[in-house]
C-alpha cells in the first residue's frame, strides 16, 4: 500500500471527520535534519555498559541512539559525554519497577539563535551523588551550557518533568531570539522544537489572522508568550493565559525585555478564564489557541465561542484532534474553509496545522430555521392524524 504524504494524510482525516475544508500544500523546512532544539533521552544498560536513547513505542525499552539524525551535533556530543560520566561515576539508573536508583532521563534544550544550552537531570530521588563533579566536567568541556537543573519524578508516568526544577548551575533559563524577539524559557515551559519553522508558522499566523489596530486578542495556552509577542504590534492589546506558573513568569519577563507594553498575562486555566470573562461581559476580537497534542475540550470550545470573537486562530500539532475540535466549533457556529500545513517535524509522520475560524451566522440561522420547519411539519402531521380520528 502506498504511504500517504502529509497533505494526503490531513485530507483523509478531513474526509473521515466530514470536515469540509481545503488543505494547503506543505510548507517544507529548509533544515530537515539536526533541527530539534529539545531532546529527552532515557538510559539503559547492556552487558554492564550504559547507553542513551529513546523509548520504543508503548514500552520502557530504550533504543540506543534513536533520533540522533534529528538532534544538533552539540546535543549529541553532550549526551555521549553524560553517558560516559554516568558509567565512570557509577551513577545508578532508576528502575521503574522497584523505584530504586537515581537517573531517569536527561533533557537538553538549545536556543537556536544564541546557542545557549540547558541540561535537565530527571531523577527518581532528591539524592544525586556525584552531581557536583558531573556539573564541573560538563560546564568546563561545553561552555555553551548556560544552566543545569535537577527535577525529581518518582511516579510511574509518561510525563517526564512534573515538579519544580532545582537549579544546580546558572539561573535555570536560556534565552533565544525568535521572530526578532528575545525569548527566555525555563525547563518546564513549552517551546516549539523547530525554531526556523516556528518563525514561518508564527509569520503565517500573523498574516492569516490579519488583526486590526483596534483588536483585543486573547492568547490561550500562551506558554512563554511567543505567539502573543509576534502579534502584539498588530493589535490594540494581548491577554495571555496559561496554567503553568513558570511559563507565565517567563512570559512576563519576555514582554518586559522586548519592551512590549500592550501585553498582560494571567496564571489560570484558559477555559475558566473565558467563562469568567463572559460573566463580566469582557469581549475579545481574536482568540488564539495552540493546545497540546490532545487538542482542546468541549468546555473550552463553548467558552471561546460564547465570547463572540470575530476570529479564532487554531494552531495544532495533531490533525486528528484538530478535525475533532473543528466539528465542535462548527456546532457553535464557527467554521474555516482552509487549513495550512507547516512541516515542523521533518523526517517524521507529524505535521503542524493552522486555520482561522470565523462565525457564520447564516449557518446558525439556517440550522434554527431547519429545526423550526421540522417542528412545524411534525405539528401539521399531528393535526392531520387527529382530524382522521387517530390518537
Q: Which of 198, 313, 317, 332 is catalytic?
A: 317
Confidence check: pLDDT of 391 > 50 = no
Mean pLDDT over each residue of the chain, to the nearest integer: 91
pLDDT surpasses 70 at 386: no
Q: How far is CA 245 from CA 56, 228, 373, in A?
A: 32, 17, 51
On the question of pLDDT at 381 being above 80, the answer is no
How many angstroms separate the CA atoms of 121 and 35, rounded?
Answer: 22
Q: Is the pTM of this model over 0.85?
A: yes
Q: Read off the pLDDT of each residue in 273-280 and give the average, rounded to a whole number.
A: 96
Residue 317 in this model has a pLDDT that exceeds 70: yes
| C-alpha to C-alpha distance for 163 and 61, rounded to whole angstroms | 24
| 317 noted as active-site residue | yes
CA 291 to chain centre: 5
pLDDT digits (tens, 9 = 90+) for 193-241: 999 999 999 999 999 999 999 999 999 999 999 999 999 999 999 999 9
Res 135 pLDDT > 90? yes
Q: Which tens digits make up the pLDDT trace of 94-110?
A: 887 777 889 999 999 99
Tens digit of each residue's pLDDT (9 = 90 or more) over 71-127: 999 999 999 999 999 999 999 998 877 778 899 999 999 999 999 999 999 998 888
CB 106 within 8 A of CB 159: no
Question: Reduced to 3 states, what is the DSSP secondary structure of residue 162?
Answer: coil
| Residue 210 CB burial class (10 angstroms; 0-12, 13-18, ≥19) | exposed
Amino acid at each position: 500500500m502506498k504511504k500517504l504524504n502529509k497533505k494526503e494524510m490531513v485530507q483523509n482525516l478531513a474526509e473521515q471527520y466530514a470536515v469540509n475544508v481545503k488543505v494547503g500544500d506543505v510548507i517544507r523546512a529548509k533544515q530537515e535534519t539536526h533541527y530539534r532544539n529539545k531532546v529527552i533521552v532515557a538510559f539503559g544498560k547492556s552487558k554492564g555498559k550504559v547507553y542513551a536513547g529513546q523509548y520504543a513505542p508503548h514500552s520502557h525499552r530504550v533504543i540506543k541512539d534513536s533520533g540522533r539524525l534529528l538532534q544538533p551535533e552539540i546535543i549529541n556530543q553532550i549526551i555521549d559525554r553524560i553517558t560516559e560520566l554516568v558509567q565512570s561515576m557509577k551513577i545508578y539508573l532508576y528502575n521503574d519497577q522497584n523505584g530504586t536508583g537515581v537517573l531517569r532521563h536527561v533533557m537538553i534544550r538549545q536556543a537556536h539563535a544564541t546557542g545557549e544550552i540547558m541540561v535537565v537531570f530527571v531523577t527518581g530521588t532528591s539524592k544525586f551523588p556525584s552531581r557536583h563533579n558531573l556539573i564541573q566536567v560538563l560546564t568546563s568541556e561545553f561552555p555553551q551550557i548556560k544552566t543545569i537543573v535537577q527535577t525529581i519524578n518518582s511516579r510511574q508516568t509518561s510525563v517526564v518533568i512534573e515538579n519544580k526544577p532545582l537549579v544546580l548551575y546558572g539561573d535555570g533559563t536560556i534565552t533565544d531570539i525568535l521572530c526578532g524577539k528575545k525569548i527566555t524559557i525555563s525547563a518546564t515551559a513549552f517551546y516549539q522544537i523547530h525554531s526556523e519553522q516556528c518563525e514561518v508558522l508564527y509569520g503565517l499566523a500573523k498574516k492569516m489572522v490579519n488583526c486590526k489596530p483596534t483588536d483585543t486578542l486573547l492568547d490561550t495556552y500562551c506558554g512563554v508568550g511567543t505567539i502573543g509577542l509576534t502579534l502584539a504590534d498588530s493589535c490594540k492589546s494581548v491577554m495571555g493565559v496559561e496554567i503553568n506558573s513558570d511559563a507565565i513568569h517567563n512570559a512576563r519577563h519576555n514582554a518586559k525585555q522586548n519592551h512590549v507594553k500592550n501585553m498582560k498575562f494571567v496564571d489560570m486555566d484558559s477555559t475558566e478564564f473565558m467563562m469568567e470573562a463572559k460573566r463580566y461581559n469582557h469581549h475579545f476580537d481574536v482568540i488564539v489557541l495552540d493546545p497540546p497534542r490532545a487538542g482542546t475540550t468541549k468546555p473550552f470550545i463553548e467558552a471561546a465561542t460564547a465570547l463572540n470573537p470575530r476570529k479564532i486562530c487554531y494552531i495544532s500539532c495533531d490533525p486528528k484532534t484538530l478535525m475533532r475540535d473543528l466539528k465542535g466549533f462548527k456546532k457553535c457556529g464557527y467554521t474555516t474553509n482552509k487549513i495550512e500545513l507547516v512541516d515542523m517535524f521533518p523526517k517524521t509522520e507529524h505535521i503542524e496545522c493552522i486555520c482561522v475560524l470565523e462565525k457564520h451566522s447564516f449557518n446558525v440561522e439556517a440550522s434554527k430555521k431547519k429545526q423550526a420547519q421540522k417542528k412545524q411539519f411534525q405539528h401539521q402531521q399531528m393535526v392531520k392524524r387527529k382530524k382522521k380520528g387517530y390518537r
